[in-house]
Amino acid sequence: MSVSLENDVLNYLRDVLDGDLIEAYRQRERRVFVRVKPAAVRRAVQALKDRYSTLRLMTLSAVDTGLDMEYLYHFHINGLVLTVRSVKPKEDNTLESIADLIPAANFIEREISDLFGVKLVNHPQPEHGLILTRDWPDDKRPLRKPFEGILPSKARPVAEALISSSCVAPISAFVQKKREEAGLPKSAPFAFTDEKMMREFQGIIRDTSLSEKVGFDWEKKRLRYK
Amino acid sequence: MVRYAFFLGCQIPMRLPNIEIASRKVFERVGLEAVDLLGYSCCPEPVISRLLDETAALATSARNLAMAEELGLNMMTLCNGCYETLAEANEVLKHDSERRERINGILRRYGREFRGKVDVKHVIEVLYEDIGLDRIRGQIVKPQRMRAALHYGCHLYREYKSPDIMRKPRMMREIAAQTGIEIVDYGLERLCCGYPSMQADEEFSLKNRLLLKLSRMREAGADAIVTACPACMIQFEIGQVMLRSYGIQYNMPCLNLMELLALSFGVPHQELHLELHRSPVLQLVQKMGVK
């Protein structure tokens, strides 16, 4: 196996996917990985199919990480194994099928749909019932985990308060009143009392992976789970 | 005038303002200027941030430390937990150039830099080393006649300047002794109050930590508990309320060292807002006849 095929695959996908490619690396000889945005999976598969005539889908793996579904498409190209990884938030419980591009994906997508309860989009047979009985309840899929991040329940309000307000102890109206009675300002001079300071504090947090690890939703300013 | 950048932390201003109120009264009387850090954030709390993302934890601490550097002042904390987090981050960043560069790479995007130019001190160290026992003694006008059990708090044993982990607890004991209290030894001073284990197992925390301490304190004849840590105060106060659901009643008052100092300096208890306590501190003080 030449290094040139590994480089060719990685460089080709970098060119084709551009900003939709999040990560691309050679793990070891004959083993390369790329991470792409979920919306770019079909484009990546089509591009691979167009360029490599020996492309074969080995299988598709799915992992429920609690908050997200991780899909790993394992391809074989002339002795090289390429994994195309995409991570989709579970708030969007769908998987866009590639069965029309690669028919071998048909059964494994249905298997994943049965076991994890994800809804298939553009699949020739999207209804479940390949492995499970057709009357199997939607809310009791064997491999689906509860919608939860890594934090235990008691730690969630602390993480949420830290990221959203720069302070882990929310102040009550009663304490504010007592502070004023004692001649203190309503609140201590936390970052949240100054827009510029708060932008700086949250910018620093965003520059690390803390908010992603705890599952913080920056738009809603709260954790993605209760 | 002794000047410090004042790191208030989260719990004290937001949940236990009585400690902040007492501290500012004490600082005024002993000639300590506490300069507020405008725009500071949580130190950060160590359990989540440090365990999950060391970079986020160090960057947050470094931002707070950089603010003190910009003021050209050493930092003073009121809270044992903030002390440990900030002093530890300060040590790590001062001595580990690789981590310092990584963190400064983030801070520079926001116009800040950690230079390692300041020291972090607990308020107990500041009172003992910069103010001195003589000046504290000179302010005592109402000696407190109570038998008190001291709870130092686990993080006060964290030591970055010497191998002597009892250095700061000894300072606290000497400062407390100036107020006229009788310090009651109960043999379990080093045992944790149970605050951290409350997150994992409430019953264990209450019965295997808090209750052990309370029973030994009572056996030793303590009227009250004096602590230096806001988290321990929450555990001693709220924990006693929670113990009632197990049929266990203690009602032992718990106050912060700064409140004890303020009372002994003659600050009227009404100004200290002792009614914010969840344990009978106000009743104890009224019983002692302090106006």
Rg (CA), chain B: 19
Of B10, B20, B52, the CB nearest to A210: B52
CA distances from B11 to A188, A202, B31, B80 (A): 11, 20, 25, 11
The answer to whether the CB of A20 falls within 8 A of the CB of A71 is no
- Name the residue type at position B248: I
Yes or no, beta carbons of A162 and B45 under 8 Å apart: yes
| Continuous segment of H or E residues that includes residue A119 | strand A119-121
Which residue in chain B has the smallest CA separation from A162?
Answer: B42
Alpha carbon of A96: minimum distance to chain B alpha carbons (Å):
32
**Pick from A177, A175, A149: which is nearest to A163 by CA?**
A149
Which residue in chain A has the smallest CA separation from B48?
Answer: A159
Residue A103, helix vs strand vs coil: coil
Yes or no, beta carbons of B59 and A213 under 8 Å apart: no
Chain A positions touching B14 (Cβ under 8 A) are 167, 169-171, 175, 187-188
Distance between CA atoms of residues B170 and B176, nearest Å: 10
Yes or no, beta carbons of B42 and A167 under 8 Å apart: yes
Distance between CA atoms of residues A2 and A16, nearest Å: 22
Which residues in chain B land under pLDDT 50?
A: 290-291
The conformation of residue A144, written as its DSSP 8-state character, comes to P
Residues in chain A whose Cβ is within 8 Å of chain B: 150-152, 154-155, 158-159, 162, 166-171, 175, 178-179, 181-182, 184, 187-191, 193-194, 196-197, 200-201, 203-205, 207-210, 213-214
Which residue in chain B has the smallest CA separation from A185?
Answer: B13
Alpha carbon of B210: minimum distance to chain A alpha carbons (Å):
19
The answer to whether the CB of B279 falls within 8 A of the CB of B244 is no
Chain A positions touching B37 (Cβ under 8 A) are 189
pTM of the complete model: 0.90
| Strand ranges of the sheet holding A21-28, from the earlier edge strand across to the other edge | A21-28, A31-36, A80-89, A68-77, A56-64
Q: Using one digit for the tens of pLDDT, what is the confidence trace for B171-192?
A: 999 999 999 999 999 999 999 9
Distance between CA atoms of residues A179 and A82, nearest Å: 61
Chain B positions touching A191 (Cβ under 8 A) are 39-41
The answer to whether the CB of B46 falls within 8 A of the CB of B85 is yes
Chain B positions touching A201 (Cβ under 8 A) are 39, 41, 60, 63
Yes or no, beta carbons of B53 and A151 under 8 Å apart: no
Tokens 């009788």 correspond to B182
Residue B172 has φ and ψ, to the nearest 5°, of: -60, -45
Tokens of A69: 């579904």
Residue-level pLDDT, tens digit, chain A, 226 residues? 567 999 999 999 999 999 999 999 999 999 999 999 999 999 999 999 999 999 999 999 999 999 999 999 999 999 999 999 999 999 999 999 999 999 999 999 999 999 999 999 999 988 878 999 989 998 899 999 999 999 988 899 999 999 999 999 888 999 999 999 999 999 999 999 999 999 999 999 999 999 999 999 999 999 999 8
Asked if ipTM goes beyond 0.90, one says yes
Alpha carbon of B12: minimum distance to chain A alpha carbons (Å):
9
Q: Residue A129: its pLDDT value, please?
A: 85
Q: Residue B291: its pLDDT value, please?
A: 43
